[in-house]
């Protein structure tokens, strides 16, 4: 008799790959795989993959994908995903693959000096096939330098490897206006006429000679090496942008602007800025960044500040959609979710974990949908949480952050739904998708897919959204009409979820969202 295991009947759910944890899985198609990597990959080491693995995979994918899709993915990653390294990398790939298209999207992707320096660093590294910029990319960098405002140039001058001075020396921009010529000479340490410097830079030079003057409105990092008094630190706080204030609250406490346990006038001023809805909208605020700040603030941070941050968090989650029917939020609390959400990088590892982001997403859905049921899981469903629509998002997130478990079985919450015979309209899954417990039967497919098939048999109109917050390109449910796979940890995932809930996405789902992005004229 023939080998029954080898020649067993293969159903439609058969797996086609193995995930990095050793479980069976379904491989995303090349476009969806690139979208996943672009929205989640910070090119740092993750729980299951190195930064080098991610880079190799991206370069392999982009070899055969159309240049237009790569360009649109770069735009999505930058404008909606608010990523930094990944869109710069995709632009560098375009510089080799289709330099005209690279030029077309350059200004939209390289929208500040940090992004410019990222692009130059990647091009010069040789990672995309060459160790020079090339004629057209060099011209694009020159044009950015020759059209940036003084404020943009000052902001771009913060940071190294490469510094903006390195970039200027590399591409030799030829300014036609006196102020820009003097500014570039000032930047790289060459002789210049001080009278030709633009006003803000002149103010900065005067302030360096006399720190008792009014603090110039220059990037905060340019001032930190100076001997500043408390009055200067107060002025810095008054002038600070939303993101600068968020990132330096502990610094302001160290320098006496904020006083532990006291809601003084400076604390109230900063709080008003942090809670301002219009400012939040302009600042490209990621909800998880506010969570990170709340996790990191010093003991004794004035309550008006922490209240303002919680208010800002609620504002940043305003596009979480209202979902109808029986909604279940399945949140992975297994061990791999302890990994930093943006990966490990020496000296730059975020304190915010995948678990924190998953808890934030789950709490945000509950805040807008009090009827939703949260099902934390590892290799079992954990129901001993205290999630309530009466709590704030952070209160619910903190409750869910305590649910940390062990091994990963993505089928568990779906099995729970089936065992309880619960009615289902929508399932929202938040995970790193590295399920492996009881998940090694290649021919039968993943256990999650098996359980989803049972749910669909009883709830034909049920749909599922799988939010993946790590840069892996296999999934636990076959991509199909009633399953949406979306990656990332910015508020862009809520935009896609909202469109899906309204029935506005077709069979291409997330890839369709990217393909619909218009290219700049």
Q: State which of 216, 250, 265 marks the end of a domain.
A: 216
- CATH number at 337 reads 3.40.50.410
CB 444 within 8 A of CB 343: no
Nearest residue to 80 via CA among 111, 53, 57: 111
227 is a domain residue: no
Residues 328 and 450 in one domain: yes
- Indicate whether 9 pLDDT > 60: no
- Indicate whether 519 pLDDT > 90: yes
DSSP letter string, 395-440: HHHHHHHTT--SS--TTHHHHHHHHHT---SEEEEEE-----TT--
Residues 326 and 188 in one domain: no
Q: State which of 216, 249, 269 marks the end of a domain.
A: 216
Tokens read off for 444? 């039968």
Query: Which pLDDT band, with edges at 50, 70 and 90, does 460 fall under?
Result: very high
Strand order in the sheet with 17-18: 17-18, 24-27, 474-475
DSSP helix/strand/coil, 99: helix
Residues 355 and 497 in one domain: yes
58 is a domain residue: no
Residues 205 and 333 in one domain: no
- Indicate whether 3 pLDDT > 60: no
Task: Tokens 């993915």: give the residue.
Answer: 73
Residues 207 and 334 in one domain: no
DSSP letter string, 428-488: EEEE-----TT---TTT--HHHHHHHHHHHH-TT-EEEEEE-SS--EESS--BTTEEEEE-
CB 424 within 8 A of CB 7: no
299 is a domain residue: no
| C-alpha to C-alpha distances, 75 to 2, 79, 89, 490, nearest whole angstrom | 53, 6, 12, 14
CB 70 within 8 A of CB 34: yes
Q: Tell me which of 5-9, 10-14, 142-146, 510-514 is least confident.
A: 5-9
Strand order in the sheet with 463-468: 373-377, 327-332, 426-431, 463-468, 483-487
Mean pLDDT of 431-458: 91
Q: State which of 162, 192, 216 marks the end of a domain.
A: 216
Cα(115)–Cα(120) distance, rounded to whole angstroms? 9
Q: Per-residue pLDDT tens for 160-209?
A: 889 999 999 999 999 999 999 999 999 999 999 999 999 999 999 999 88
pLDDT value of position 1: 45
Mean pLDDT of 19-38: 92
29 is a domain residue: no
pLDDT value of position 6: 40
Q: Per-residue pLDDT tens for 224-254?
A: 888 888 899 999 999 999 999 999 999 999 9
- Indicate whether 7 pLDDT > 60: no
477 is a domain residue: yes
440 is a domain residue: yes
- Indicate whether 11 pLDDT > 70: no
Number of domains in the chain: 2
Q: Exposure of 59 by Cβ count < 10 A (0-12 exposed, 13-18 middle, 19+ buried)? A: middle
276 is a domain residue: no
- Indicate whether 102 pLDDT > 80: yes
- Indicate whether 10 pLDDT > 60: no
- Indicate whether 211 pLDDT > 80: no
Tokens read off for 235? 């002025």
Q: Per-residue pLDDT tens for 498-508?
A: 888 877 876 56
109 is a domain residue: yes
Say which DSSP state 338 is in.
G
What is the extent of the structural domain holding 352?
A: 17-23+322-515
DSSP letter string, 135-178: HHHHHHHHHHHHH--HHHHHHHTS--SS-HHHHHHHH----SSH
| C-alpha to C-alpha distances, 400 to 276, 374, 489, 500, nearest whole angstrom | 28, 9, 17, 25
Tokens read off for 288? 């998880």
Average pLDDT, the chain: 90
Q: Is the pTM of this model over 0.85?
A: yes
């Amino acid at each position: 008799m023939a080998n029954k295991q080898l020649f067993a009947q293969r159903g439609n759910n058969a797996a086609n790959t193995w995930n990095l944890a050793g479980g069976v899985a379904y491989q995303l198609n090349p476009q969806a795989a690139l979208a996943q990597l672009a929205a989640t990959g910070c090119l740092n080491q993750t729980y299951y993959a190195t930064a080098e693995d991610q880079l190799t995979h991206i370069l392999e994918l982009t070899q055969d994908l159309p240049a237009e899709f790569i360009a649109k993915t770069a735009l999505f990653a930058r404008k909606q995903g608010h990523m930094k390294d990944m869109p710069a990398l995709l632009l560098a790939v375009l510089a080799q693959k289709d330099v005209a298209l690279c030029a077309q999207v350059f200004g939209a992707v390289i929208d500040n000096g940090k992004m410019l320096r990222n692009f130059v660093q990647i091009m010069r590294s040789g990672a995309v096939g060459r160790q020079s910029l090339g004629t057209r990319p060099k011209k694009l960098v020159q044009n950015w330098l020759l059209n940036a405002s003084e404020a943009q140039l000052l902001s771009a001058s913060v940071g190294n490897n490469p510094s903006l001075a390195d970039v200027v020396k590399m591409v030799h921009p030829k300014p036609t206006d006196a102020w820009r010529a003097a500014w570039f000479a000032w930047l790289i340490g060459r002789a210049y006429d001080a009278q030709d410097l633009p006003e803000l830079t002149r103010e900065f030079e005067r302030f360096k000679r006399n720190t008792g003057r009014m603090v110039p409105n220059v990037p905060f990092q340019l001032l930190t090496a100076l001997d500043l008094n408390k009055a200067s630190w107060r002025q810095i706080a008054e002038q600070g942008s939303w993101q600068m204030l968020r990132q330096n609250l502990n610094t302001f406490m160290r320098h006496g602007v904020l006083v532990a346990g006291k809601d003084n006038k400076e604390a109230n001023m900063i709080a008003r800025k942090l809670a301002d809805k219009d400012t939040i909208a302009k600042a490209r605020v990621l909800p998880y960044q506010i969570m990170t700040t709340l996790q990191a603030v010093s003991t004794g941070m004035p309550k008006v500040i922490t209240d303002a941050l919680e208010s800002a968090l609620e504002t940043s989650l305003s596009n979480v959609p209202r979902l109808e029917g029986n909604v279940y939020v399945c949140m992975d609390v297994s061990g791999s979710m302890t990994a930093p959400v943006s990966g490990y990088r020496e000296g730059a590892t975020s304190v915010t974990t995948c678990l924190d982001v998953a808890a934030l997403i789950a709490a945000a859905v509950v805040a807008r949908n009090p009827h939703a049921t949260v099902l934390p899981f590892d290799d079992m469903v954990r129901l001993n949480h205290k999630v309530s629509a009466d709590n704030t998002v952070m209160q619910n997130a903190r409750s869910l952050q305590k649910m940390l478990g062990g091994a990963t079985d993505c089928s568990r919450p779906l099995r729970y739904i089936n065992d309880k015979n619960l009615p289902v309209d929508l399932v929202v899954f938040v995970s790193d998708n590295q399920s492996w417990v009881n998940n090694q039967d290649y021919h039968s497919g993943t256990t999650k897919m098996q359980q989803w098939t049972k749910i669909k048999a009883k709830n034909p109109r049920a749909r599922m959204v799988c939010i993946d917050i790590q840069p892996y390109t296999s999934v636990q449910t076959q991509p199909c009409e009633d399953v949406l796979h979306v990656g990332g940890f910015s508020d862009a995932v809520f935009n896609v979820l909202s469109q899906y809930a309204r029935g506005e996405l077709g069979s291409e789902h997330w890839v369709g969202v990217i393909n619909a992005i218009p290219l700049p004229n």
